[in-house]
Amino acid sequence: MQLSRREIESIFKKLRLEPKKSTHHLAGWLVVDGKRILPLHYSHSRKDMPGNVPHRFRKSMLLTGPEFNDMKACTMSREAYIELLRGRGLI
């Protein structure tokens, strides 16, 4: 699985993450109804994510491969992602 910096920036922007202080990564919290639900982060590097990092990032978002592809392709909205997490009992 490939994940470019542009794709991950798009995901962070779409999810409207609340900023989280970090010196080594760009990080944020997915906030739903005023509660911090899910922390996400990625490296400051200008390069694409190498090796198994995209797979680990997908897992940190609690998504399957096809769901993550929908998120990358911008066919899954923030609201759809939150409903998916609610349906799994994670929110």
pLDDT tens digits for range 2-29: 788 788 888 888 998 887 766 666 778 8
pTM (2 decimals)?
0.80
pLDDT tens digits for range 63-72: 999 999 899 8
Across the range 39-54, mean pLDDT stands at: 74
As given in the structure block, the two tokens for residue 73 are 């392709």
Alpha-carbon separation of residue 87 from 2, 8, 58, 67 (angstroms): 27, 24, 18, 14
Cα(8)–Cα(47) distance, integer angstroms? 11
On the question of pLDDT at 40 being above 70, the answer is yes
Strand order through the sheet with 35-43 = 18-20, 25-32, 35-43
Domain extent, residue 78, equals 5-87
Across the range 18-47, mean pLDDT stands at: 77
pLDDT tens digits for range 51-63: 777 888 888 889 9
On the question of pLDDT at 36 being above 80, the answer is yes
pLDDT tens digits for range 79-90: 999 999 999 988
Number of domains in the chain: 1
